[in-house]
Structure 1
Amino acid sequence: MSPMFIARFCALLCLGGVLSGCATRPVIVVEKEEFVQMARHMPRELQARRLLDKDGSYMASFSLAAFSNYGETLFRKLSPSFMFGDAGHVYLGENFAATLQPDSRVTRRPNGFSINHATQRLTVNMVAIADWNNDGEDEWIVSCLVEPRVGGRARTYYVLVPPPRNEGEALKGTVAAVWECFGLACNLYVRDSKAIERAAADPLLPATEIQDVVPGLQTVTEPPEKNQTGKNDGLEERSL
């Protein structure tokens, strides 16, 4: 299959989305299950940013530029400094590799890694690549689940990471959202929420399912929503 054919096919997909009212921006989904989980946590935010349409579908992007071993890149280059809410527990370092202690255990995967520390478990995954801010620049969307060993709140950070431009470049992420759970009680915190901004002028209909356009469909039920809005360290809180 030639690059020209793929480019034309992508153009037809985008045109079809516009004509059908989809108007979503393309997303390169790296870890499908993690992307669906993110969409479960904040469907309205992804809709407002045009990464999901009103039916909960996304437009899969066909990238001609290959990148391998995201997990090793994130492990060796990504700074854990974005974990502001876990300052009392997190093992800080210039990157995740530098947080390792003698008793730490690491599991590496092509698209992520896990670290078992004495007080917490960290699970980092490369989720997707998309233009989150609609500024013409793609960001890596990375999830980082922080689970304390003994009680406390578990947090999933959704982090925007600029793609590395050279081999030796360190990576620093910006938190886009935090999904925080204490037992079964969970809250979503969103920085610079487009969903709240858009709702004032054009309210979104509640999304009831998330559909994966390729290869097939996957249905996910959205939790019931309670409309509550607050602020915490520049993030906007919405309870689900």
Structure 2
Amino acid sequence: MIRSIILLLLIFPIISCSKGGDTPKEEELSLPAAASLIFPSNNSECIEGVVKNDTQSSVTFQWEDATNADSYELKLKNLSTGVTTGYNVIQNEVTIELDRGSAYSWYVISKSKNSKEISESAVWRFYNANATISSYAPFPALLVSPTINQEIVFSSEGIVLEWTGSDVDKDIVAYDIYFGFSNPPELYQENLNTPKVENVVVKPATNYYWKIITKDSKGNISYSNLFQFKVK
């Protein structure tokens, strides 16, 4: 009998430690979730702002409350100037004055005072409406592959250049690719009607640069970011 009691006492701490190890850390439980964006809608013309004057209007950005988040930072980029501004708030909306007729991208960072980690939402893009503009330029193309500073293993079959394009007016007609080992890169192919080129010849141990110009039916154009990558 005494021997059985001793064995039970020895086993009990082991079981207790095992259960404790399965409990999620407090940091993990308080990790803020990524916010879901609501307005302005992605790839849209925002016509619901309050006009302030000929050049500016105010727009209220909205997103869903994120689990475990107690504050947010909205990151807003003017796609024409490249300037990014941050807005720190504790609620799930903020009103900002914008340039009329300009293209913007935005996303939200979720934060928690109980966690050092943050979470980022998807990135959305839109045009702030201007009644005097009848046709908007395409949004700058988003370069998909190769990504910026990516290292690619050399292949004799070449590489694939891929991107995505979007336009409020849905009238993109062509893309021009600038690609090469010089910066800025030279024109590689023009007037493509698909956002992908395969079997692009490259050399090993070489750095390359590339960007995309998007054209629409009204003669408007936009320029993507310039990406650099390396073929090993």
TM-score normalised according to structure 2 size: 0.29
Q: Whose strand proportion is higher, 1 or 2?
A: 2
Q: Whose helix proportion is higher, 1 or 2?
A: 1
- Structure with higher Rg: it is 2
